[in-house]
């Protein structure tokens, strides 16, 4: 429950930071537009936060479970392509740590488990790369 509170509650840094980023994007007209856009934005973030919570729970309870059973194949392919080590990702724990490393987690022996900010940042970077890969695969004209 504490992990959910740290991701989802408006008093935590993740949603606050992301809402600040969303409000800086300049897509908001009047006050009503801000409320409607932030409601939709918060709804989207809630889904992504739950996805990360589920992924972290599986990475802790079943670290040797095949990653292909838990995460989308596009995420696996893209993370494998953009990771510095280029090692194949077989387990959920490897994917989870790779995602955090893509968000800035160093992964040294003494570092412990990755935090939410590096995980969220890694997911954001990964989703941008997935969208870029999908855009490159489309043919123009």
DSSP for 23-64, written as a single string = HHTS---SHHHHHHHHHHHHHHHHHHHHHHHHHHHHHHH-TT
Query: What percent of the residues of the chain are helix, what percent strand, and what percent coil, each to the nearest 5?
Result: 70, 0, 30
Q: pLDDT 10s digit of each residue in the chain, 141 long?
A: 555 555 555 445 555 555 555 555 444 445 555 555 677 777 777 888 888 888 899 999 999 999 999 999 999 999 998 888 778 889 999 999 999 999 898 888 888 888 888 999 999 999 999 999 888 888 776
Q: What domains can you pick out in the chain, each with its CATH number? A: 2-137 (1.10.740.10)
pTM over the 0.85 mark: no
């Amino acid at each position: 429950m504490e992990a959910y509170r740290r991701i989802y509650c408006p008093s935590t840094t993740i949603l606050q930071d992301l809402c600040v980023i969303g409000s800086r994007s300049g897509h908001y007209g009047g006050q009503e537009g801000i409320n409607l856009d932030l409601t939709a934005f918060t709804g989207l973030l809630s889904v992504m936060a739950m996805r990360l919570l589920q992924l972290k729970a599986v990475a802790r309870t079943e670290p040797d479970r095949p990653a292909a059973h838990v995460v989308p194949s596009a995420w696996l392919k893209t993370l494998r392509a953009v990771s510095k080590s280029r090692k194949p990702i077989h387990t959920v724990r490897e994917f989870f740590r790779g995602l955090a490393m893509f968000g800035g987690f160093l992964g040294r022996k003494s570092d412990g488990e990755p935090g939410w900010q590096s995980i969220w940042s890694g997911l954001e970077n990964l989703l941008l790369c997935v969208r870029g890969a999908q855009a490159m695969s489309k043919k123009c004209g």
